[in-house]
Amino acid sequence: MSNSGKSSPRKWWALFALSLGVFMSLLDVTIVNVALPIIAEGFKTNFSNVQWVISAYTISYAVVILIVAKLGDMYGRKRIYLISMLIFVLASTINGLAPSLLILNIGRVIQAFGGAGLMSLALALVASLFDGKERGVALGILGSVMGISTVSGPLIGGILSESFGWPSIFYVNIPIGILAGFLVYFTTKETPKYGEGQKIDFWGMLLSSAAIFSAIYGLIQKENHAQLSWFNPQIAFWLITAILLLVAFIGVESRIEKPMMDLSLFRNKNFVGSIIVAFALGSGVYAMQIFITSMMENALSYASFETGLRQVPMTIWSLILGPVAGYLTNNFSNRRTIAVNLLVGAVGLLLFANAMTTQLSYQELILPLILLGVSNGLVNPLLNNAALADAKPAEIGMVSGLVNVFMQLGTSFGVVILGLSQSRTYDTHLQTFFHSFDTHLPGIEKIKDQLLAEGPFSSHSIMSQDIQAPMTMVKSLQHAASKAFYAGMNSVMLVSASILTVAAVLAFFLLKDGQAAKNLENN
């Protein structure tokens, strides 16, 4: 399977180049988060409209990732990777020059098509370049790059957008992408083409893309309309459609001779364990980070750059733990190591929950940030090795794609579930307070309605308004709103900790005990 049995500088340069592509691909999922207020101001629109700058990328990214992975398996992973890089760079240029929000959203869709290729094919290319223990180290490094790119978005986005304006978060991709593309072209050998005698499975690609789109769009609808029931047609239609499309996809794939996806993968409990861990990382860590970022900006009043800087105790570990993850992969059980580190993350989240009081200070966040960073910094790279433990050479691209799809689905699911948990707790605390708030002062009912309607992250700005009431009453209102907010954040952390704990138990019982590097070499 490998193209290189000897250790040579060339393949390490290839790893560097592929890591650059992965870094850009995943960074662009989160780098926009902190720049949204600046983008909204630049286009003179409201915050809800610019949120599609994020959603357009995440939805498109998840929708096409399996298709690009399959095309790479069929026609050569290096070729499709370089085409993806070209698309990504051109789309980044369009985004930076976008004269309107519509053009920016279209550019983000195109950019996601390229980013999905960079992400899904890099793992397969790295696996083909390295053998034995070197492969474990290389995959560990690549996994660390995946981890740090996802969690460092707020810091890099804050630096660029505040210093050079929001277009810079897209322009930065151009020189890096060109450099990475040239390095991949000259250092990476093409992989075998596994599509001999196989036609493109158009129905499989169409149904899988439509199912993923429907699922994520339905979750986004629920996120944007938290007050609506899951059974509301605006939400239920998309989720039911996703289920029906999934059933149709399974039916088509089980009947054709050469399907897009080998459904027997899901009979392998090690693979099932891997996608469960990927889903848990998305819902319990990456979705939770969105809430931490919003809390720092809204409740603690940090600027975008300050927010990113204060998350360094979490993000730095993904950068430095890559070689450690490779060592662990080669010498210890993936099953036990992943399970233990998921529990480390759960402990960090419990410490987060304990710190969520009206007296919260940044110092209380440092230890839980470190624990969560160590957890993510080790689990993410180990996950790649675990997922590939039983993968045949022709399946590596699809396995990589599926792991990333479940991580994206997990993130979308987590944002909704954590948001609902936060809002429910916040509303309950506020309602309890106002029930005991015996006053008929004009304007108090309006404040109550505003606090409940605009949600937890708006409570601090609402309570900073000039309220016509006695000072003692104003202070009581402010304290109640703050207490309700932190109670909601406590709920977010407890739900996230539960997700990681359940994932740790399932990982322990489902993942293989052996080392992925040896299994890949035997393939």
Q: CA nearest 116: which of 83, 152, 153, 68?
A: 68
Give SS3 for 332.
Answer: coil
Q: What is the pLDDT of residue 465?
A: 58
Q: CA nearest 498: which of 290, 368, 381, 353?
A: 353
pLDDT in tens, 14-52: 999 999 998 888 888 778 877 777 888 888 877 667 878
Q: Whole-model pTM?
A: 0.84
**Any idea where the domains of the chain sit in the sequence?**
1-189, 206-259, 267-523
- Number of H helices and E strands in the chain, helices first, is 24, 0
Q: Extract the residue ranges of the chain whose pLDDT is less than 50.
A: 1-5, 516-523
Which amino acid, 32?
V
Q: What is the pLDDT of residue 521?
A: 46
CATH of domain 1-189: 1.20.1250.20
Q: What is the pLDDT of residue 34?
A: 72
User: Tokens standing for 7?
Assistant: 């250790």
Taking the C-alpha atoms of residue 356 and residue 135, their distance in angstroms, rounded to an integer, is 42
Cα torsion angle, 90, 62, 497, 458, sign: positive
* DSSP string of 145-192, one letter each residue: HHHHHHHSHHHHHHHHHHHH-TTHHHHTHHHHHHHHHHHHHHH-PPPP
Give SS3 for 242.
Answer: helix
Q: What is the pLDDT of residue 5?
A: 44
pLDDT in tens, 101-123: 899 999 999 999 999 899 888 88
Q: CA nearest 123: which of 394, 308, 488, 397?
A: 397
Taking the C-alpha atoms of residue 461 and residue 293, their distance in angstroms, rounded to an integer, is 16
Please report which helix (H) or strand (E) contains residue 38, including its range. Answer: helix 36-42
CATH of domain 267-523: 1.20.1250.20
Task: Note whether 485 and 459 are within 8 A (CB).
Answer: yes
